Every structure is written in C-alpha cells, then in structure tokens.
C-alpha cells in the first residue's frame, strides 16, 4: 500500500513538472522590464523561453502589473503572462474586501450567474488590460497561424490570468484550446464565482500553491470567499499533490495561517523561482 502511494506520487510529480515548469518560466519573465522582454535581453528568464516572438508588452508595475504576449513558434501557441505585485501590496489589496456583485462585462462573460461576486480590485485590474489582451491574442492566432493559447500569472497576476482565461475561452472560436496555469492565487470571489470558474475553464485550469504561502488562504472562507477546483499543492520537501474539488484540506486549505511563510509566495515553483523583484537585467 505504501509502495503504491509512492509510485503514484512520483508519476504525478513527473507529469506536473511537464505541465507546470514552462508556465512558471513564462511567469518569471513577466517580472523583467518590458523593454528587456520586448528585446528578449532579460538573460536567463528570457533565454528559458526558447524560440518566441514578443507580440505585446504592457503594464507599468504600479497600477497595472506588467504583462507580455508572445508567440511560441515551436508549440504554435500564443502565451499571455502577467506578473504579480509585491507581497506587501497583494496583502494590502486583499485588505480591501469590497466584493462586487457580478461586475462582469456581459459581452465578455455572457453566462456569468447574477449571484457571482468578485473582489473589486481584481476585476478593475483585469479590466485595464482586457481589451488589448483579447485583440492581441485574436490577431496573433490569425497572423501567426497559432492554434492554441496559454495564459499564466502569479499572485495578483494569477487573478488577472483566471479572468483572461475565462474571457478567452468564451470569446475565441470553440476549437482553440485555452490553458490557464497560475501560481500563488488569492481567493477571488464567492462560491458562485468559484463554480462559474469550474464550469467555464474546468480542467484546462490549474492553480499551484506553494507550501505555507498565506496568499492563497486570503481573503478567508469565513468571509464567503472560495477557490475553484484544480489546485496543485507543493508540500515541504517538494512533494507535489493534486487535490480534487474546491477547498480540499489536503492542499493549502489545510494550512494554518499561523504557520504561514510569506517567502513561499515567490516559489520556487518547479525550479523557477518567481522573483517579486526584477533580478533579471
């Protein structure tokens, strides 16, 4: 029995690395300056991207986290990557607990249930880049002949990426696969919101939580916030587990906030230490 568990765990770890290491590398580069990403001169974070063409860079690292959109020529995919904000900032945004009752643009989210409520700050930040993300991805699919989309993000950028993923899943042609892989995601909204995420992007979505990072545990469930399904949790010693359903206590929901380590927010996630400062030139 114990042997079986070990075998299953190591198999799971292998497949998790294949699916999540590259997304973590894409996020790491989003912390570099827009000009160094545009010219692919951000050293290791840029070289690890391989054969990519940068289609758009944006954000200012103040109001709007930096982001870039790239074409990975060999995977023929369009990649959207959002940086987060520093740990102090994310916790201060989360202090502001204003939930907006279905603030969602009905063109971009026609199926949003009226009871779905979302953290106001997250929606407003998403809204500042949504139109340029939608138009650049749509144009990139056509002009590059790309046939799939990957959206990644960390921290506040993870929340933006989830909204991007849901928007693109809804707005792009149904035959375009859209994968959303995010790291250090805070709780975004209420239980109707969490179920709407599950219904919309389902298993094309993974959110990775690292060890004792407190950010995925705030705002607390006691205030009505809830995570969607599809969490992958990195435990101490780099044991990686994948949890079924929402708020599974085998993953970060089982952590005590008293033991939290804010340093875990930056990773490492599958070897890519996602810095909260630009340390990449």
- Contacts with ligand NAG by CB under 6 A lie at 22, 25-26, 49-50, 72, 74-75, 105, 107-108, 131, 237-238, 268, 271
Pairing of strands 231-234, 205-210: parallel
**What span, in angstroms and rounded, lies between the C-alpha atoms of 181 and 201?**
11
Which residue's CB comes closest to ligand NAG? 75
Query: Which residue's CB is nearer to ligand NAG, number 72 or number 246?
Result: 72
Cα end-to-end distance, the chain, whole Å: 49
Query: Which residue's CB is nearer to ligand NAG, number 47 or number 92?
Result: 47
Query: Which residue's CB is nearer to ligand NAG, number 192 or number 264?
Result: 264
Name the minimum Å distance from CB 74 to ligand NAG.
4
45 phi, psi to nearest 5 deg: -55, -35
Query: Which residue's CB is nearer to ligand NAG, number 103 or number 219?
Result: 103
Residue for token digits 């949790």?
Answer: 233
Name the minimum Å distance from CB 237 to ligand NAG.
5
Name the minimum Å distance from CB 113 to ligand NAG.
18
Per-residue burial over 54-92, b if 16 or more Cβ lie within 10 Å, else e, is bbbbbbeeeebbbbbbbbbeebebbbbbbbbbebeebbe
Name the minimum Å distance from CB 50 to ligand NAG.
4
Name the minimum Å distance from CB 191 to ligand NAG.
25
Query: Which residue's CB is nearer to ligand NAG, number 72 or number 102?
Result: 72
For 4, other C-beta atoms within 10 Å of its C-beta total 8
């Amino acid at each position: 029995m114990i042997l079986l568990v070990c075998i299953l765990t190591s198999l799971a770890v292998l497949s998790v690395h294949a699916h999540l290491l590259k997304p973590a590398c894409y996020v790491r580069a989003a912390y570099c300056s827009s000009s160094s990403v545009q010219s692919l001169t951000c050293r290791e974070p840029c070289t690890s991207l391989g054969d990519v063409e940068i289609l758009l860079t944006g954000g200012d690292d103040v109001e709007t986290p930096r982001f870039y959109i790239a074409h990975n020529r060999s995977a023929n995919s369009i990649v959207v990557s959002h940086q987060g904000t520093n740990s102090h900032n994310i916790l201060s945004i989360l202090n502001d607990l204003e939930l907006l009752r279905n603030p969602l643009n009905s063109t971009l989210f026609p199926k949003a249930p009226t009871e779905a409520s979302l953290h106001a700050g997250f929606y407003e930040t998403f809204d500042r880049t949504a139109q340029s993300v939608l138009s650049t991805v749509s144009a990139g699919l056509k002009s590059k002949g790309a046939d799939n989309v990957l959206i990644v993000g960390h921290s506040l950028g993870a929340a933006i990426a989830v909204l991007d993923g849901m928007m693109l899943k809804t707005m792009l042609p149904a035959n375009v696969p859209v994968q959303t892989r995010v790291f250090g995601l805070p709780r975004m909204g209420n239980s109707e919101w969490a179920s709407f995420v599950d219904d919309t992007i389902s298993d094309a979505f993974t959110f990775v939580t690292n060890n004792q990072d407190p950010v995925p545990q705030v705002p607390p469930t006691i205030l009505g916030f809830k995570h969607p399904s599809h969490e992958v949790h990195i435990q101490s010693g780099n044991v990686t587990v994948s949890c079924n359903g929402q708020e599974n206590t085998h993953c970060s929901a089982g952590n005590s906030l008293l033991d939290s380590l804010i340093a875990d927010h930056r990773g490492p996630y599958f070897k890519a230490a996602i810095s909260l400062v630009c340390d990449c030139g």
